[in-house]
A and B are shown apart, each in its own frame.
Chain A
Amino acid sequence: MKEKGWKDIPIAGLIVEAGNAKEYKTGDWRTFKPVRDVEKCTNCLTCWIYCPDSSILVSGDKMTGFDYDHCKGCSICAQICPVKCIEMVKE
């Protein structure tokens, strides 16, 4: 994303569009990334409930993976997983 000059940004540094946090890729803050063992996963979606960055991807009632553009690698999903199917792997 090309950074804007001072004449083109909103007054007072306001964020004037709701929900634009998704444009800010926080994935590169990560040291460890979550990796799921699909065989062990029961699709209970506990990780989806707990993820503070809405980075658990779900389709229907199935967990489909991680949004690595925004996952900061906090490992809450790995800690909370009742069947321990998520492993934190060094980037």
Chain B
Amino acid sequence: MKDKLALTGNEAVAHAMRQINPDVLAAYPITPQTEIVMAFSRFVADGVVDTEMVPVESEHSAMSACVGASASGVRTMTATCSQGLALMWEIVYIASSLRLPIVMPVVNRALSAPINIHCDHSDSMGARDSGWIQIYCENGQEAYESTILAVRIAEEEKILLPVMVCLDGFITSHAVERIQLLEDKVVKDWVSERKTKYSLLDVENPLTYGPLHLQDYYFESKRQEAEAMRNAYSAIPKVVDKFEKLTGKRYDYLEEYKMDGAELAVLCLSSTYGTAKTAVDRLRAKGVKAGMVKLRFFRPFPAKEVVNALSKAKAVAILDRSDTFSNQGGPVFNEIRSAFYEKKDKPFIINHIYGLGGRDINVEDIEKVYTDLEEILKQKKVETLVNYLGVRE
């Protein structure tokens, strides 16, 4: 573990891909993901990877090529974001339904319209019910390590589901950080060879991927897919344990910051956690009992862990970097509020939607969220359930 490089988040992910050395990578460029595949294509051109790179004509084709390759039994990757993920949509569901362990970095970017290239989570949150595992990364280092971790999660026999590794567009993807790389051999041994029982190219044992299921068997297949995500919930911690032995890093479902004795808590995903920790430090210095939780896995949704962590507080705000337009708040808020239903002594739980289209979130903005929570504790009631943080009135 000697190599420390100054890399953008995208380059860090490309290095993870280089070390994983997938058999097939099919991708189409889209800002701010382009740099991942651009950097990776250099590794292909330089002959440092053995990957068959398929430069396709659209993201729909990219995911289709990945499905075909993965069904043949080889390790397959792609990367996308925003409109690209939207265009892939049809095949995104097919990848998970066919239980193909494709790993796909998603560089979170807003969805049109209005057209925008900056960060929010509308793209991957839209795919939250597609049956993919979703990991949200705080910084380049996490994006790098999560990509490597994701291969083993995806290919775990009890799971066999594709994984999206989400990093914040521009904020993480284009910021240069000092990245600590694992040794090539360590990653090579970690990912090992993909083993599959069912290869489309196994002529000795011919089989059919994707046959028609009507009223008779479709439901059973979907029930099986639901079980795969339940299995993922119990199997991921074991993969995480093994990864910790290798790297010394814990990639638990969530991470807590100063939650001991916290009365006010905020939960967020991805890069905002770094900003929020500074807000917590400032508030703690002033005597405010503030704490913070970062949710790393959104799928499978770790309901028990989230409820346990947030139950320590008396008032909680969930930060969502996308809206559902349901009048019921953002996707993370909805999931967490639902998870608390059975809990007897619940904290107050509110929602702040923030940062759409790359709108900056500053330490002061997060301090404002804690002020809202203080007010709720004082009033002992919630005035506004769904708040919009940082939007001009």
Q: Which of A's residues lie within 8 Å of B, judged by CB?
A: 3-7, 9-18
B383 in the interface (beta carbon within 8 A): no
Which of B160, B197, B211, B220 is within 8 Å of A15, CB to CB? B211
Q: Is the CB of B221 within 8 A of A3?
A: no
Q: Is the CB of A16 within 8 A of B198?
A: yes
B324 in the interface (beta carbon within 8 A): no
B99 in the interface (beta carbon within 8 A): yes
Docked pose: A9 CA to B227 CA in angstroms: 13
Interface SS of chain B: helix, strand, loop or mixed? loop
Q: Which residue of B lies closest to A8 (CB)?
A: B220
**Chain A positions within 8 Å of B218 at CB level:** 13
Q: Is the CB of A6 within 8 A of B208?
A: no
Which of B160, B197, B206, B211 is within 8 Å of A13, CB to CB? B211
**Interface residue tally for chain B (C-beta within 8 Å):** 24
Interface SS of chain A: helix, strand, loop or mixed? loop
Q: Is the CB of B223 within 8 A of A6?
A: yes
Q: Is the CB of B99 within 8 A of A12?
A: yes
**Chain A positions within 8 Å of B207 at CB level:** 14-18
B234 in the interface (beta carbon within 8 A): no
Which of B99, B208, B211, B223 is within 8 Å of A11, CB to CB? B99
Say how far B234's CB is from chain A's closest CB, in angstroms.
Answer: 17
B254 in the interface (beta carbon within 8 A): no
Most buried by A among B97, B160, B220: B220
**Chain B positions within 8 Å of A5 at CB level:** 220
B308 in the interface (beta carbon within 8 A): no
B208-241 vs A, Cβ < 8 Å mask (1 yes, 0 no) = 1111010011111101110100000000000000
**Chain B positions within 8 Å of A17 at CB level:** 207
Q: Can you offer 24 A-B residue contacts whose CB atoms are under 8 A?
A: A6-B219, A6-B221, A6-B224, A7-B224, A9-B221, A9-B224, A11-B160, A11-B197, A11-B198, A12-B97, A12-B99, A12-B224, A12-B225, A13-B97, A13-B211, A13-B213, A13-B217, A13-B218, A14-B198, A14-B207, A14-B208, A14-B209, A16-B207, A17-B207
Docked pose: A15 CA to B207 CA in angstroms: 5
Q: Is the CB of B220 within 8 A of A11?
A: no
Q: Contacts A13-B211, A13-B221; is A6 near B227 (CB within 8 Å)?
A: yes
Say how far A2's CB is from chain B's closest CB, in angstroms.
Answer: 11
Most buried by B among A4, A6, A7, A18: A6
**Chain B positions within 8 Å of A9 at CB level:** 217, 220-221, 224
Docked pose: A3 CA to B213 CA in angstroms: 13
Docked pose: A14 CA to B207 CA in angstroms: 7
Q: Is the CB of A15 within 8 A of B217?
A: no
Closest 9 CB pairs of A and B: A15-B208, A6-B220, A18-B206, A6-B223, A13-B221, A12-B99, A12-B98, A6-B224, A16-B207
Q: Which residue of A lies closest to B198 (CB)?
A: A14
Say how far B213's CB is from chain A's closest CB, in angstroms.
Answer: 5
**Chain A positions within 8 Å of B209 at CB level:** 12, 14
Docked pose: A3 CA to B206 CA in angstroms: 23
Say how far A4's CB is from chain B's closest CB, in angstroms.
Answer: 7
Docked pose: A30 CA to B208 CA in angstroms: 26
Say how far A62's CB is from chain B's closest CB, in angstroms.
Answer: 32
Docked pose: A11 CA to B199 CA in angstroms: 13
Q: Is the CB of B221 within 8 A of A12?
A: yes
Docked pose: A11 CA to B210 CA in angstroms: 11
Q: Which residue of A lies closest to B222 (CB)?
A: A6
**Chain A positions within 8 Å of B208 at CB level:** 14-15
**Chain B positions within 8 Å of A3 at CB level:** 216-217
Docked pose: A44 CA to B219 CA in angstroms: 46
Docked pose: A15 CA to B216 CA in angstroms: 15
**Chain B positions within 8 Å of A12 at CB level:** 97-99, 209, 221, 224-225
Q: Which residue of B lies closest to A16 (CB)?
A: B207
Say how far A20's CB is from chain B's closest CB, in angstroms.
Answer: 9
Q: Which residue of A lies closest to B228 (CB)?
A: A11
**Chain A positions within 8 Å of B227 at CB level:** 6
**Chain A positions within 8 Å of B205 at CB level:** 16
**Chain B positions within 8 Å of A16 at CB level:** 198, 205, 207
Docked pose: A18 CA to B211 CA in angstroms: 12
**Chain A positions within 8 Å of B97 at CB level:** 12-13
**Chain B positions within 8 Å of A6 at CB level:** 219-221, 223-224, 227
